[in-house]
Structure 1
Amino acid sequence: MYNHGFRSVYKLNAHIVLVVKYRRKGINVEILNRLKEIITAPLKKWDCELLEFNGEPDRVHILIDYKPDKPLSTLIENIKVCTDDRDRNRLSARINEAISAEESLPGKLIRVIRLSR
């Protein structure tokens, strides 16, 4: 399905991969559901549609449909800030528990490693 603008027809999809620092396996179902809630808020704000969301123990895959008047780099930056700032302490504690008791993740938990259009 294509989107229609004034004198244009477009379909812009972006595949974003968010990765736990050092690719440690720390994402479980509870964390994945919370990340989905966190990520959908800026997408609604930016008038984008979440097409697909799934994850593995060390990464999260997001497929979004966005409009050409929205800069993709700014949208990704906004998603990164939201995943880093919101519930940082609670999410980092859960991820650390999922990894192991003796290891901890310093600094930012999630970073973007690949983007394909």
Structure 2
Amino acid sequence: MRSRSQDVEYRRGRHVVSTLHVHLVFVTKYRGNVFDDAMLRRCEDIMVEVCDSFEAELREFNGEHDHVHLLIHYPPKVAISKLVNSLKGVSSHYLRKEFTGQVGPAITHGPFWSPSYFAASCGGAPLSMIKAYIEQQRRPT
């Protein structure tokens, strides 16, 4: 597990200031126990490259035998579904190609990842604080 920048960073564009983070979880097809440390390290390297191509940053990565967790800081122009499709597609291609002996026949010749995934927005103030802040605005009468 490698730790990346921990400070809150705001992305500044021509018309937007943002700080968007998403927590993603991908599970292997049939929850197959395919990952070891070497494979997780390679998976992380692939995910970093894909994130870079979306102008996003992989802030944290880790996994177990059958799933991976990612924390990604991304710009507002990125659609999470497109990022997920690319992360899963590119990693599937390279992991099956480079670790053929480790993945079972079902994964070698079929999908590497389960078609579903978990995504949650995260970071920033708790929702209760944001709600209270909005409620406290001085509305014109």
Q: Matched residues, percent identical?
A: 29
Looking at structure 1, the residues matched to 38 and 12 of structure 2 have their Cα atoms a distance apart, in angstroms, of: 37
Q: Secondary structure of 1:76's match?
A: helix
Residue 91 of structure 1 corresponds to which residue in structure 2? Answer: 99
Residue 109 of structure 1 corresponds to which residue in structure 2? Answer: 112
Looking at structure 1, the residues matched to 57 and 68 of structure 2 have their Cα atoms a distance apart, in angstroms, of: 17
Q: Secondary structure of 1:25's match?
A: coil
Residue 20 of structure 1 corresponds to which residue in structure 2? Answer: 28
Task: Establish whether residue 50 from structure 1 lines up as the match of residue 58 from structure 2.
Answer: yes
Q: Which contiguous aligned blocks of 4+ residues in structure 1 show a shift greater than 3 angstroms?
A: none
Looking at structure 2, the residues matched to 69 and 90 of structure 1 have their Cα atoms a distance apart, in angstroms, of: 32
Specify whether residues 65 and 59 from structure 1 end up closer, same or farther in structure 2 by C-alpha distance, changes over 3 A only: same
33, 36, 46: which one aligns with 2:44: 36
Bigger CA radius of gyration: 2
Alignment length (residue pairs): 110
Structure 2 unaligned runs (5+)? 1-7, 122-141
1:7-37 Cα offsets, whole Å, 9 max, x none, are 4321111111111111122211011011011
Looking at structure 1, the residues matched to 80 and 12 of structure 2 have their Cα atoms a distance apart, in angstroms, of: 19
Looking at structure 2, the residues matched to 113 and 84 of structure 1 have their Cα atoms a distance apart, in angstroms, of: 14
When normalised by structure 1's length, the TM-score is 0.82
CA RMSD of aligned residues (A): 1.7
The question of whether the paired residues in 2 share the 8 Å contact of 1:84 and 1:110 is answered with yes
When normalised by structure 2's length, the TM-score is 0.70
1:36-56 Cα offsets, whole Å, 9 max, x none, are 111111111111011100011
Q: Secondary structure of 1:69's match?
A: coil
